[in-house]
Amino acid sequence: MPLKLIHELIRLGGERDKRIANINSVTTAKLTGIILTIAQSFSKKKSQPPALDGFLPFPLDEDNAFMVETREVYKKLIAQRKLPLHVLASLNKVISP
């Protein structure tokens, strides 16, 4: 039993490190996407903007734990009435499942 617990702790620690690395790289990935979009605009071809996922160190999971944590923070802020109404409206697509 303790060996399974240690394995699970190591796995969760690795997932946490991946999430933190992705969170710390989001700004750089967005800037890279903007620069590539500008560079592509000089060509005559129509192309889609690059996906943010391609510039992050680890692939994004749709059911990512930090999204769940973020959703919980949003719910707490809404319950405490700390967010203005226009912010609530823009967060509606993130909060609702």
* pLDDT at residue 92, as a whole number: 67
* pLDDT at residue 65, as a whole number: 54
* pLDDT at residue 29, as a whole number: 86
Phi-psi region of 41 (alpha: psi -120 to 50; beta: other; left: phi over 0): alpha
Torsion of CA 21, 23, 24, 26, to 10 degrees: 120
pTM of the model: 0.51
pLDDT per residue, tens digit, the chain (97 aa), is 578 888 888 888 888 888 888 888 888 888 888 888 888 888 877 778 778 778 888 887 655 555 666 677 777 777 777 767 777 677 666 566 5
